[in-house]
A and B are shown apart, each in its own frame.
Chain A
Amino acid sequence: MEISPKPFSIFPRSFLTAAWLGWKIESNWTDPFLFAVYSIIKPLAGAMILVVMYGVIANGNYNTPIFAYIYIGNAFYRYVGDVMTGISFTIIEDREHYRTLRYIYTAPIVVPFYLLGRGVARFLTSSFAVVVVMGAGILFLHLPFDLQKVDWLLFLVGLLVGVVMLAMLGLILAGITLLIVNHNYAIGDAVSGALFLFSGAIFPLDVLPVWLRPIGFIIPVSYWLELLRRALIGNVAQAFPTFSSLSNLQLLGILVTLAIVFGIISVYVFRLCDHNARERGLIDLTTNY
């Protein structure tokens, strides 16, 4: 029997259907009001921890470059945990909790596009959280944020490239999750935690011991957060020496290059893991671990 090639429409169909499904799963467990409250409280509390930590030491003087650095890095880091971990967590949800992964694999869809689509809902909720946290910072903590001075083009391009890069990292983790039985819940958190520490999300990389700093320089998230800070608050972000020798264009170039590299790696890693998972019968594995 001859197998006909997949029509192109299968890619957007896989992606969009998964995005809609992801949104339903994320939001339909409660009423919209409670969902909105839930989506606001968690990120705001996370930001407030840093605000109080800083306020205790600085006696409430939030009008400093280091506070803006910490606050913005923390706000945008939400995307890392949500998008990257969200995509890999889809494997656990569908395989262990809903036990539908076997049906998804037999459905006429492209699995990597399905997984990326499931990340869209997380992207939307993260975006809402980022807007709320940034809004609170501007209104109540007087972040040095001027709408007219924001480099919107750099911001939007940087954000887009960064989110694609995170989605690709998520695909790598999803592939690894397919093969893991124990602690699969912790894989996303592990990577997210490591990136939180080594990317200098909430402190300048110079604070890390010298022997740990090189890790920060090979992580694309470090460049991504620096680019977003520069696009939003310009000179304040450049006050820290870590990346001061790099221009915005150079930062963007590094970020795009790393995103492409991780994109290529993710395709091969997922394909390899997917093949092994099929061969070893792990697609419909339920561990109850």
Chain B
Amino acid sequence: MPTLPPVKTRHTGWMLFWMTVWGRSYPRVVGMQRERSWLFFDIFLPLMGVSAYVFVYRAIHAPEDYIGFVIVGGVMIAYWMNVLWGMSSQLYWEKETGNLALYIIAPGPLMACLLGMAVGGLFATTLRALVGLVIGSLLFNVNYTVVSFPFLFLVFLAAMIALYGLGMATSSIFLLLSREAWHIANLAQEPIYLVSGFYFPIKSFPFWVAAAGSLIPLTLGLDAIRQLVFASGPSLGFISVPLELGILVVLALVFLFVSYLLLNYMERLAVREGKLTDIRS
């Protein structure tokens, strides 16, 4: 029987946290290099769906910037799908496949596991999104007028931290929901595409509807990005970009804190009831 090499250094504290983050993000980063079929499934397929919406705008003779709105929105859908299926549902899947118990008994903190999933997922999705953005922009001849690259980077970063924070928070909730989790994740697609304005400016909604939709970080992130990269963006923006950036920073802090609380609650529940890892398909 093969034996594992002896453990020379036992990490603790922040080093253990960091090693866990790296360890959990590793399969998501390296997996992309090992199996390249994602190039077809994660770029070509979403692009077909997005193209259909582009042709709708073409059919109704919309201004050209709207084509760009759809391309950028379609690219951002990749992040939502990753958060939904690769973050929110992940602990549930791990339970179904029997890995959750291993996570819980492993020395690394669960928060670091979730953060590792987020970092790995963010990296992998950004790679897919960039390729999709370039191909979509070239196919449909989208023109960008970037106002400020630093602002664009800050907005994107804040939106992603808030979004993946939301994913970390909901992963505990989905785990507790068990079988309903799959249906809720399924439900959180079209309705979120609608309220987050993936295919149109969120300003099209009444103020309070748009404000409610802004609880999903991608809503404000997408609106701010459109304002920063399209000529007609500012006139179709919901609120000013600095304000959107401020709200995104607040959302990021709130979601990360909530995810920490929920994870602690779930771990306490696991210890108390001893059946969190039961598979109940």
Question: Chain A interface (Cβ within 8 Å of chain B)?
Answer: 29-30, 38, 41-43, 45-46, 48-50, 52-58, 66, 70, 97-98, 182-183, 186, 189-190, 193-194, 196-197, 201-204, 207-208, 288
Contact = CB atoms under 8 A, between A and B. Distances in A.
Contacts of B189: 42
Contacts of A53: 53, 56-57, 60, 199-200
Contacts, number: 98
A203 B201 CA distance: 21
Contacts of A203: 52, 55-56, 58-59
Interface of B: 35, 37, 41, 45-46, 48-49, 51-53, 55-62, 66, 96-97, 179-180, 183, 186-187, 189-191, 193-194, 198-201, 204-205, 281
19 contacts: A29-B183, A30-B183, A42-B186, A45-B194, A49-B193, A53-B200, A56-B66, A97-B96, A182-B35, A183-B41, A186-B41, A186-B45, A193-B48, A197-B48, A197-B52, A202-B52, A202-B53, A203-B59, A207-B59
A41 B58 contact: no
Given A53-B57, A57-B61, A38 B183 contact: yes
A195 to B, nearest CB: 10
Given A52-B194, A182-B35, A193 B180 contact: no
Most-contacted residue by chain A among B35, B57, B60, B66 (CB, 10 A): B60
A288 B94 CA distance: 10
Given A41-B187, A49-B199, A52-B204, A70 B49 contact: no
A52 B198 CA distance: 11
A121 B49 CA distance: 25
Given A30-B180, A288-B97, A57 B60 contact: yes
Nearest to B85: A185
Nearest to A47: B190
Contacts of B49: 193, 196-197
Given A197-B55, A202-B53, A207-B55, 19 more contacts: A30-B180, A42-B187, A42-B190, A46-B194, A48-B194, A49-B198, A52-B194, A70-B56, A70-B59, A97-B96, A98-B281, A193-B46, A197-B48, A201-B52, A203-B52, A203-B59, A207-B58, A207-B59, A288-B97
A45 B55 contact: no
Contact of A54 (B58, B60, B96, B179): B60
B59 A66 contact: yes
A56 B59 contact: no
Nearest to A194: B48
Given A54-B60, A186-B45, A197-B49, A38 B35 contact: no
A50 B52 CA distance: 11
A46 B281 CA distance: 29
Most-contacted residue by chain A among B37, B48, B66 (CB, 10 A): B48
Contacts of B35: 182
B223 to A, nearest CB: 14
A48 B37 CA distance: 33
